[in-house]
Each structure stands twice: as structure tokens, then as C-alpha cells.
Structure 1
Amino acid sequence: MNALNGRRVTVTGATGRIGLVTVEHLTALGAVVTTLSNGEHPDLKADRILVGDTRSETDVAQALEDADLVVHLAALAHPSAGTPYDVYSVNVVSTFNVLAQAGARGIKRAVIASSINATGLPFNPHDIKPAYFPWDEKMATDVADPYSLSKQNDENTARMAWRRWGIDVVAFRFPHVNSGELLQRQADRAREDPAGGFREAWSYLDTRDAAYSIELGLTAPLSGAHTFFVAAGTTNAPYETEALLDAFAPDVPRLRRFIGREVPIDLTAVRTVLGFQAQHELDLPTLPLEL
């Protein structure tokens, strides 16, 4: 029997790209799902569907009634999704509100959506490069936009919630997450313009794998507040990773060599602690990189 069978799971941001697939996935595992979103969606099916604001203490309290576990995905997911004030304040206040109430209620586990943008690299207005490849959870950050700052502070909130209330929290640094069809379109663009994927380390994740990682985050035998990079094991560009790095980051240190299209993000932690392995990766040819 699945560990989630019969468990009440509250999912915020359930009408979003990851949220819809996650609710379907958890329901298929036998979870009894409550959702809290800022609007309705015709494809959303759950035991309890609530419309509200994750910044509202009342709305979140209602969504957490009888909850055993929490998945917090609600956010303004891009620097352009609102004013800088809105992007930062919505994201940070929502995460604090959800984790603080969950912790105070004695809920034992939460999964939250962080982002590879917690590194500060993808949206940084300056000409910056990472400290090294592969990226890992210990790499220094360089944040210069409100969305990336909000994700960095969401991870800080997770650590505070664990220390204050003892709620175990798993924060996933998601890359670009989308359906297989749309990821293939992104790969087509990367074939024509491989430079465009440099600041995201050419990483991606299928929505089905995102939902699977959330399942593992809810059920893995761990304690504390943990942050994991999670991604497909391959890049979204049809070129060898070593060739991409030679072309676009020749001066950035490499801690090891990369085989084929191996993504230059260290996935050791998510693989060893949670047992995660992407199951839906792009099937791309490996072409010579000609610039």
C-alpha cells in the first residue's frame, strides 16, 4: 500500500502547471487532496477545492483543516508576474503563512517549490557566471531580482519553520517544468540557440517527474529542512555538455567531466536522499556543436 493512501494532503497553487499534475498524481496514489488556488480550473479534481489567497490566514487555516501533509506551490512564478513588490511579498508572505500555520498545527511534513532561481543566475541583469559546474546546493548565490530573492527566502523560511515547530520541509529547486510536448519545443529552440539555455544550465523537468519528486518529498524517511536541485538527468540541447561548456563557459571551473548530454547540475543529493530519478527525459540526437 502506498504511504500516501488515505492521507489528507493540502496542495496550494493547484491550478498551476505543476499543481494540476501533482493533484492528479497524489489522488491516483490514494491521497485525499484539498486544494487552495486563487481561481478555478476545469481540469482540477480533488476532494475539497477551495478558492482563496495563500496570504490570508483565514483561507490557509481552512485549507489546512485535517491535513496530514502540505504541498505549497502557490507563487508568482516570474519577475514579470507583477510589480517587484507584488512578486516578492506574495511569494514570501504566502510561504511563511503556509509553513507557520502547518507547523503550529503539528503537521509533520511539507514540500515547497523553490527554484533554480534561488541561485540568482537566470534573471540576473549583470553578466555573471556560476562559480563552477556542476551546480550544487552549496554554490554561492548572486541574487539581483525580486523573484530569485523570494525563492531564496522561501528556503530560509523552511529552515526557520523546522527549527521553530519541528515540521520537516523539503524545498525543490525546480528548473523549467513543462509538459513533454512543450519541453520538446524548448529543445527545438535550444538546437537553434544553445546560448539561451546557459543561465539555466540547459536543465528541464517534465511535469510528471515534478509530481513524482513531490511524492518522494512527502514520503521519504528524513527530518529537518532540506533543499534539493531536481531536474532531468540530461540537457534540453542536442549537444554534448562538454562542448556547450567549452563554447559558453570556458573559464568556469569544472569539478568533473560530463558524459554525453548529462545536465551540469549535481543531482547526487536528490538521488541518494530521496531516490529520485527522472522518468521522462527528452530523446534527442547528439549533434556536433557548430557556432
Structure 2
Amino acid sequence: MIIVTGGSGKVGRAAVKHLMERGYDIASIDQARPAGLSNPPKPTDVNFTRADITDFGQVMAAFSGINGRVEKPVTGIVHLGAIASPGEAPDHEIFEVNTISTYNVFEAARRLGIRNVVWASSETLYGVPYQEGPAYVPVDEEITEPQWSYSLSKLMGEKMAEQFARWDKAAKIIGLRFSNVQEEKDYANFPSYQADAKTRHFNLWTYIDARDAAQAIRLALESKVTGAHVFGIANSNSVMTRGNDALLDEVFPGTPRKHKLLPNESLISIEKAKRVLGYRPEYDWKP
């Protein structure tokens, strides 16, 4: 049994679908009911329970067993529940909700002996929105430059993961720094970005298809590594048809390049995820 917090969100829906299609038993924990859930549930519906993950007691209860929903041993946690982006709530609330919920998930997993945790970190730790430009491109996991309370909450999650993994050497806690998540229907907007490089410069013109985010989650769950790890997760190409060098010269002149850039390669490096997890993006906005 895999428990997914935030299973009703954009990545959560894709992850639940992807994992269930591959034979995993899934329980979704969220405060929002999944769209299309039947009453009573159909055999194809995800097991859903409403819970507040900022409440440690509710997290412990949900992870340890829910009548008719969580009865099999829990072998992994996918923690996606959070305030999903900067500006969705006041700064202090974003920091509080995201930090406390992540602590609750890590601590409940530790107490219950669940040693396989995958969670959503964020591309914002690379320095989004890059007021002074990126440190270098492609940005990679060595960069940690939070600019908002949102990205600061994700940094706290990464630091907590290091300590929880230190306390239990057999634990695996993998943080995935997702780029801006897109669903297939969102690709209709991409042609409108082409006229102005600044329309999507805030995250270096990168994106992640929700279905590829789900693939990365599954690969992280299945990985045999132990300890705390962080991986950049993006698609292999940019949202733009113009080349990277021209885009950078226009918007972020003087940005150091770690290597000669391919015209449309992702400026979030996914090399570590490829090497360690076997991640290979399968979906592309270009036909």
C-alpha cells in the first residue's frame, strides 16, 4: 500500500493514476475530494480519505490504518500535500503549512517504520524568479537559493529529510524538485509564449508534464538508494521554439553556461535523475 498526500492535486492525480495502472494499491489523503469519485466507490476509484496533514494526530491515524481504506501494510509515502505555489496564501501561512505538514509526514513515517518516502520539493530552490539571473545554466541540485517563504519551506523540507535519514540509516527520503507542472490541455497555451521571451522567463522556460512527474515519483519509490536525496525533475526540452542562447542573451545576459547548450534543452538539469533513477521524460509539448 502506497499513501499519497495531496492526491487530488495536479501531480497527485497523475501519480495516483500512474501507480494504480501499474498495480500499486493506493490511498489518497487530501482535504479535497477527487473529481469523479463515486459513492459508494467503484473498484476503479482510488481509496480516498479526507485528512488535515498539518495535524500530526490525523497523519499518524491515516498512515497507521483507515477502516476499509488503509488495511494492508504501508510500504511507501508520496507526500505532495502542500500549498502548491507562492502567493496562494500569505507568506507566513505558506511557510507554516508546508513546513509543519512535511515534518508531520516524515515523523509519522519514522514512528511507523515506513522507510520509503518521496516528496515534492520545488524548482524555486534554484533561485526562481531569478531577479539577478541564475547562478549558471543548466541549474542543478547544487544550487539552493530560496527567494520566497514558499521556497524557504521547501528548503526546510530538504534539511529535515537529511536529519530524518541520519536518524535511520535504512530510510530513503527523496525530494523531487519539480518544474512548473503542465497537463496535456495546458499545451494549447504554449504557442502564445513564443512572441515574448519574458512571458516564461521566471523559471528559465522549463516545465514538467504531470505524467512525467508521476513517472519520476514511481522511479523514486522503486529506487534502492538509502538516505536523503534531491533530484531536479523537468522535461527534456523548453517551452520555447527559440534557442536557449538567444533567450539567455536577451533576458539574462552574461549567465555562465556549464556546457555548450543544445538549442532547446531544459535549463533545469535532469542528468542526476537520469543517472540515479533511470528517469526519461516521455511526453513533449511539441507534436
Amino acid corresponding to residue 19 of structure 2 in structure 1:
L
Out of 170, 176, 182, the residue aligned to residue 172 of structure 1 is 176
- Kept after mapping to 1: 8 A contact 2:125/2:144: no
- Aligned identity (percent) is 29
- Superposition deviation, residue 219 in structure 1: 0.2
Distance 2:52 2:195 in 1: 41
1:136 corresponds to: 140
- Superposition deviation, residue 105 in structure 1: 1.3
Amino acid corresponding to residue 173 of structure 1 in structure 2:
R
Amino acid corresponding to residue 243 of structure 2 in structure 1:
E
Q: Per-residue displacement from partner, 1:160-190 (whole Å, max 9, x unpaired)?
A: 21112342111010011121220341x2232
1:13 corresponds to: 6
Q: Per-residue displacement from partner, 1:95-115 (whole Å, max 9, x unpaired)?
A: 010011102211121100011
**Secondary structure in 2 matching 1:276:** coil
Amino acid corresponding to residue 25 of structure 1 in structure 2:
H
2:40 corresponds to: none
**TM-score w.r.t. structure 2 length?**
0.90
2:25 corresponds to: 32
- Kept after mapping to 2: 8 A contact 1:35/1:46: no
**Secondary structure in 1 matching 2:3:** strand
2:100 corresponds to: 93
The 3 A distance-change label for structure 1 pair 120 and 243 is closer
Amino acid corresponding to residue 60 of structure 2 in structure 1:
A
1:215 corresponds to: 218
Distance 2:223 2:178 in 1: 18
Distance 1:200 1:140 in 2: 14
Q: Per-residue displacement from partner, 1:129-160 (whole Å, max 9, x unpaired)?
A: 1111110111251x331111111111111112
- Kept after mapping to 1: 8 A contact 2:125/2:143: no
1:5 corresponds to: none
Aligned residues: 272
Moved over 6 A (4+): none
2:235 corresponds to: 232
Distance 2:179 2:252 in 1: 19
Out of 145, 151, 156, the residue aligned to residue 153 of structure 1 is 156
Identify unmatched segments of 5+ residues in structure 2. Answer: 38-43, 65-72
Distance 2:45 2:134 in 1: 41
1:74 corresponds to: 81
Matched, 1:41 2:59: no
Equivalent residue runs for 1:276-287 within 5 Å? 276-283=279-286
**TM-score w.r.t. structure 1 length?**
0.89
The 3 A distance-change label for structure 1 pair 184 and 204 is farther
- Superposition deviation, residue 12 in structure 1: 0.1
**Secondary structure in 2 matching 1:34:** strand
Compare 260-269 and 43-52 and name the one that shifted more: 43-52
1:182 corresponds to: 186
- Kept after mapping to 1: 8 A contact 2:30/2:81: yes
- Kept after mapping to 1: 8 A contact 2:16/2:46: no
Q: Per-residue displacement from partner, 1:51-97 (whole Å, max 9, x unpaired)?
A: 01011122211221231100000000122211111110000000010
Out of 198, 203, 227, the residue aligned to residue 200 of structure 1 is 203
Q: Per-residue displacement from partner, 1:211-261 (whole Å, max 9, x unpaired)?
A: 110000100121111101010010001111122122222211111111121
Amino acid corresponding to residue 18 of structure 2 in structure 1:
H
Distance 1:68 1:245 in 2: 44
Distance 1:271 1:46 in 2: 32
2:68 corresponds to: none
Could you say what the CA RMSD is over the residues aligned between the two structures, in angstroms? 1.6
Amino acid corresponding to residue 118 of structure 1 in structure 2:
L
1:118 corresponds to: 125
Distance 2:192 2:93 in 1: 31
Matched, 1:109 2:116: yes
- Kept after mapping to 2: 8 A contact 1:35/1:63: no
Distance 2:168 2:281 in 1: 32
Compare 11-20 and 57-66 and name the one that shifted more: 57-66
The 3 A distance-change label for structure 1 pair 241 and 120 is closer
